[in-house]
A and B are shown apart, each in its own frame.
Chain A
Amino acid sequence: MPLPKLSPRTREATIWALYAMGLIPGLWGFYQGATGQIPGDPVRIFEHMLGLWALRFLCLGLAVTPLRELAGVNLIAYRRALGLLAFYYVLAHFTVYLTLDRGLMFSTILADIVKRPYITLGMAGLVMLIPLAFTSNRWSIRRLGSDWNRLHKLVYPILIVAVLHYALSLKVVTGEPAFYLLVTALLLGYRLVRPRLLEARRRLRQASR
């Protein structure tokens, strides 16, 4: 299923549109929370919503390769935006945790980061995302060469800690976290079978030649 071919300028515009649309849920959530329109516990609801969108963008970014190789849909041009959106949401999630949720009480925050496995995992995910965000530009890609690929494999452990951070923060694992655990298993499982899959395809192509 090939996508329509876009001119470079149109493609550039769709990438910016993705950034703009991707930020809407967070901005809308902030507006609603700041104007008293989120009932119940607006801090937790906003905080969890930011975390969930980070996880969604992370999964979408990791779906680009299997989509290209299995369905022939090439969205590689949008992968950087998806990754950066995930990073922005993680930053916002962490900021809300520090300020609105924990009221900048750093003594208890530090104790939580060290002592609570799910918070430690979330923190590890944020730390690992930082170098990826900083090297998400053409200059870094050229400069780092094959090291760039190796560095950006960090996204796999990041997805693992992110989904564990989510599941372990809950009292019981229900449908939604189970869904993300399954998606994570599929996305990472694909990476395990991928070398064999590509090799088999290559042989098939050679044989038919």
Chain B
Amino acid sequence: MSAYRPPRIPSSEITPKGTYLNRRSFMAAAGGAALLPALPALAEKLTVKPGPYGTTEPQTPKDTVTSYNNFYEFGTNKGDPASNSAKFKPRPWTLEVGGMVAKPQTFDLDKLIADIPLEERIYRMRCVEAWSMVIPWDGFPLAALLDKVEPLGSAKYVAFETVVRPEEMPGQKGYFQPMPWPYVEGLRLDEARHPLTLLAVGLYGETLKNPNGAPIRLVVPWKYGFKGIKSIVKITLTDKQPPNSWNTLQANEYGFYANVNPEVDHPRWSQATERRIGGGSFFGGSEQRPTLPFNGYADEVASLYAGMDLRKFY
């Protein structure tokens, strides 16, 4: 099926930030700020240099990336994060890094971002539900943060934890809560130190928006999207394999490793192909394509799993 693909809009043609910020403050002043609903935290421009591992595949438009994703803290529908996250306050933010480290620390996020140079990483994102996107993230390698706290030789794994704020995250209160909170994830230390593994603080050159896991989230491009834990408040180095939420919920469907693997199907659906969500106008111009081992990053990461039975450790 052929679909119309609009030309890519050069960033020079995008309405300058200042212009629409001015309009917002004008609107707020005109309407009387008290009469307006709280404005969601505004995205700010980030200073970013291009990083390695880029792809030339067409990028998923920003509006799509910010309006369609899973973030159950705001609801289980994929439109919920965009609709229900306006009350969430991603600043001020602190990130506690501890456990088996020589220098446990609590970082102020803004200071941390000022301290570590940010890179743009254009990664494929493959959801376990068999859809995919291409997203330009902005962030820094997780290894850079780990270096600051100096993991001990005994540390083997890294555990992550999402914030719990039922007052700001409607998915965390009421009936029919899909899973226990906080959402937790984990990586082996060598996976965490791999140069592909990113802590993202932005996308498309701007600070992360609430639906995408503001203000700081994990991106592990060779694993299914659910490994990319959002709104992280705590990182702990440990010597035991940490629990991860989806595995705890349904161990036969979601593993600890969750490496993208077209050979190992989800028990209820095939993982052999995926639908790339693009930017066309006729039904998003989305197309079915074969899924690649390790989401196309096999050259970089396959050696991490040498000798492992990936059917067993899915």
Interface set of A (CB-CB < 8 Å, partner B)? 33-36, 38-44, 46, 99-103, 105, 108, 111-112, 115-118, 168-169, 171-172, 174-175, 178
Contacts and interface: CB of A to CB of B under 8 A. Distances in A.
Interface on chain A toward B: helix, strand, loop, or mixed SS?
A: helix
B286 A41 contact: yes
A107 B119 CA distance: 41
The B interface, classified by DSSP as helix, strand, loop or mixed, is loop
B280 interface: yes
Nearest to B272: A108
A126 to B, nearest CB: 18
A100 B277 CA distance: 12
B283 A112 contact: no
Contact of B270 (A40, A112, A117, A172): A112
Given A36-B281, A111-B270, A175 B175 contact: yes
Interface of B: 1, 63-64, 67-68, 76, 78-79, 129, 131, 175-176, 178-179, 249-250, 268-270, 272-273, 275, 277, 280-284, 286-288
Given A36-B281, A40-B79, A103 B1 contact: yes
Contacts of A116: 268-270
Contact of A117 (B78, B175, B268, B281): B268
A116 B63 CA distance: 33
Contacts of B79: 39-40
Contact of B282 (A36, A105, A172, A175): A36
A35 B281 contact: yes
B131 A172 contact: no
Nearest to A172: B178
Nearest to A111: B270
Given A40-B68, A102-B288, A116-B269, A174 B78 contact: no
Given A36-B280, A38-B283, A40-B78, 19 more contacts: A33-B282, A35-B281, A36-B284, A38-B284, A41-B131, A41-B286, A43-B284, A43-B286, A99-B1, A100-B283, A102-B273, A102-B288, A103-B288, A116-B269, A116-B270, A172-B249, A175-B175, A175-B176, A178-B176
Nearest to B67: A39
Contacts of B273: 102, 105, 108
13 contacts: A33-B283, A36-B280, A38-B284, A39-B63, A42-B283, A44-B275, A101-B288, A112-B269, A112-B270, A115-B270, A116-B268, A168-B268, A175-B176
A174 B76 contact: yes
Contacts of A35: 281
Nearest to B249: A172
